[in-house]
Amino acid sequence: MEEVLKKLNKDKLEKNYNLSKDLTHKFKKPPGDVLFFYRLDLRSQNIDNDLDIISELFFRNEPFVVFGECTNLYITEKGYNGLFISIQEYHINGITFDTTTNTFNVKADCNLTDFVKDAAALGYDFSDFYQIPGLVGSAVCGNSGSDGVEIGEFVRSIRVYDIKEKKYDTFSVVPNSDFFTLRNSKINEDNKEKTRYIIVECELQSEYIGKDNCELRIRKKKADRTDTDKTSELEGGTAGSFWTASALPKEYLDNGKKVRDLISDLGLNRLEINGAKYVTKKNFLTTSKHTKDRDVAHLLDLTTERIKARYNFYPKNEVVILDYDGRIDAAEFIRRYKRHKRV
């Protein structure tokens, strides 16, 4: 791998790199190092060269992952034994509005909240995604949402770089199709085993409600999120909502229940295992500096077992878990790291 990586911009390549300063959502528990780190600039003059090199890694079966500003990410103490590619974030430019179709063409590296504000200035409402950390491309890949509204509802097309085919391609998205599912997308699914697609641009469409109405909705959303974020920060930082809020049987959703409500009903929000605990009204997961992966795994194990015993289903993790060999789900994380002693 190292010979191939020498072809990348050496100023943006790091070896044995710790991601603590790059995590937008931060656990107090420090992550392990990644073997190699590279900041990928989609607007660089050398982007085609970089993408060719990534394709070379793909065909050589070298380990690499791609993330946009490292949001909603939990990295184990073992770190990641491969190349961690982080998309360079931009706060300016990269947004155009097509007056003939009332659609926004947005570069994937744009800050999501900046896009929401720019669209609001034109009177178009994307306020449900205000202050969700990260990039537009990341939000689209993970189908980010808030209060039951998901960004996939607004997407009309997605331009990607297909690493396997070594070319750019476009997915046309029909509203209400199965391209997007709960906190997921076809692109995200295809990337789980081996990263194949890098999103470079998205086309989004929303309702025109006027600038003043957009500003009112943004102020309300800001107040709601500020309350949660302040509590979270006081507790020591989190990586967001660990469990997918609405990933539970329809019978509970129909009664207004979400996973966080089940956690509270079971008293799991009162547990603390060496600093690992649930905080805020949304039951975000937080840790302390002395928390270990085994402590987090034990809390998650208790959570899944008690929810299964009472409600007969397993919750689904929304936060991405990255271990030394790649992405794993909560069940595998628990299997690898849980303690055997019960509390």
32-70 in b/e form (b: 16+ CB < 10 A) is bbbbbbbbbbbeeeeeeebbebbbebbeeebbbbbbbbb
Does 72 lie in the same domain as 104? no
Rounded Cα distance, 122 and 236, in Å: 37
* 44-92 pLDDT tens trace: 999 999 999 999 999 999 999 999 877 788 999 999 999 999 999 999 8
| CATH assignment of the domain containing 181 | 3.30.465.10
Q: Which domain holds residue 333?
A: 250-337
- In this structure, the number of other CB atoms found within 10 A of the CB of residue 304 comes to 18
pTM greater than 0.75: yes
**Mode of pairing for the β-strands spanning 184-185 and 180-181:** antiparallel
* 180-211 pLDDT tens trace: 988 889 999 999 889 999 999 999 999 999 99
Helix (H) or strand (E) holding 336: helix 330-337
Tokens 């002693």 sit on residue: 341
Asked if 296 and 287 touch (Cβ cutoff 8 Å), the reply is: yes
Rounded Cα distance, 39 and 12, in Å: 6
Residues 6+ apart with CB under 8 A from 11: none
Tokens 């394709």 sit on residue: 55
Does 292 lie in the same domain as 208? no
Residue 223 covered by a domain: no
Rounded Cα distance, 77 and 49, in Å: 33
* 280-312 pLDDT tens trace: 777 788 888 899 999 999 999 999 999 999 988
Residue 230 covered by a domain: no
* 111-164 pLDDT tens trace: 999 999 999 999 999 999 998 888 999 999 999 988 889 999 999 999 999 999
End residue of a domain, out of 87, 109, 124: 87
End residue of a domain, out of 61, 87, 113: 87
In this predicted model, which residue has the larger pLDDT, 166 or 236? 166
Longest dimension (CA), the chain: 63
Residue 200 covered by a domain: yes
| CATH assignment of the domain containing 67 | 3.30.43.10
**Mode of pairing for the β-strands spanning 73-75 and 64-68:** unpaired
Hey, is 115 helix, strand or coil?
helix
Residue 330 covered by a domain: yes
